[in-house]
Amino acid sequence: MSVKLKFHFEPAILTTDGPRIVTGATALPAVIARLPDNYLDETTALIASIPGLQSAQKLQTGTTGTLTKAQNDALNTVNDWLRRARATAKKAFPGEDVKLRADFQVGINKPEDLPSVKARAQIVQNSCADAANFAALKLKGWTAKDTTDFATAIAALGTTDATQEGAKIDRQGDTGALHTAQNDLYDHLVAIQNAGNLELPASNPANAQARAKLLLGTFPPKETHAKAQPTPATAAPATAPATPATPAK
């Protein structure tokens, strides 16, 4: 299950502003006293965990990309065997259009998604393995090894598909772990600031320096939204002056 971020700013800000907030709170015992035991240590540990989680997530993204290339290579191999089998079948069963379409999927090339291609290839490979069909194909140069190699290509396509799906799941898991840690860090930083806000109210000017150490008023950053430009009013078209009536003669 995916984990959504609960804040709406660049996540990198957490690990740049977070240490400053922790350092500021460390110098304020009254603020620390308002927080649970070891809260600053927990926050520091969360900050330290983020880079490793980011690296794991990026690694899975790269791995998935590599598997996509492997999957495409396997798909190309299967399509090559499909072409060879169909070409041989046309020579082995000339004029038998129904058989060619049903057994060897001649003329059927849609849809092009991987499961559909794989299903068509399996039908054709099974037809090549059929004893009666093979006898006719063999006369046109097809071999038992061709049938076996075709089956191997289909199996390889299935393996790359399953492996890629596994990598996608791993990537989702790593992304979920990263987002969970980022959300926890955000909660910790906001809690530290709230303790500071309670202990050091803005109404007292003497608290300004201590509040600044906690980045109160600076973190979280405010979201900026572009203001819609007013649509200029469209001037009404000028009305042509009325043509004076011609006096009757």
Question: How would DSSP label each residue in 77-124?
Answer: HHHHHHHHHHHHHHHHSTT-HHHHHHHH-TT-----SHHHHHHHHHHH
Task: Report residue 49 as tokens.
Answer: 């965990």
The pLDDT of residue 169 is 47
For residue 218, being part of any structural domain is answered with no
Determine the pLDDT at residue 172. Answer: 53
Q: Which of 244, 193, 157 is closest to 40 using CA atoms?
A: 193
Task: Supply the pLDDT for residue 178.
Answer: 84
141 Cβ contact list (under 8 Å, min separation 6): 88
Question: Is residue 6 a part of any domain in this protein?
Answer: no
Q: What's the pLDDT at 56?
A: 58
d(CA 75, CA 3) in angstroms, rounded, equals 33
pLDDT at 61: 46
CA distances from residue 197 to 72, 194, 208, 215 in whole angstroms, order as listed: 57, 5, 11, 11
**Has residue 244 been placed in a domain?**
no
Q: Is 127 contained in some domain?
A: yes
Number of domains in the chain: 1
Q: Is this prediction's pTM over 0.75?
A: no
Per-residue model confidence (pLDDT) at position 58: 56
Q: What is the CA radius of gyration of the chain?
A: 35
In a domain, 56, yes or no: yes
Position 199 pLDDT exceeds 80: yes
Q: Which residues contact 155 (CB under 8 A, 6 or more apart)?
A: none
What is the span of the domain harbouring residue 131?
Answer: 12-213
Residue pair 159/136 in contact by the 8 Å Cβ criterion: no
Which of 51-65, 95-109, 213-227 has the highest average model confidence (pLDDT)?
Answer: 95-109
pLDDT, the chain, mean:
81
Q: How far apart are CA 146 and CA 160, in angstroms?
A: 21
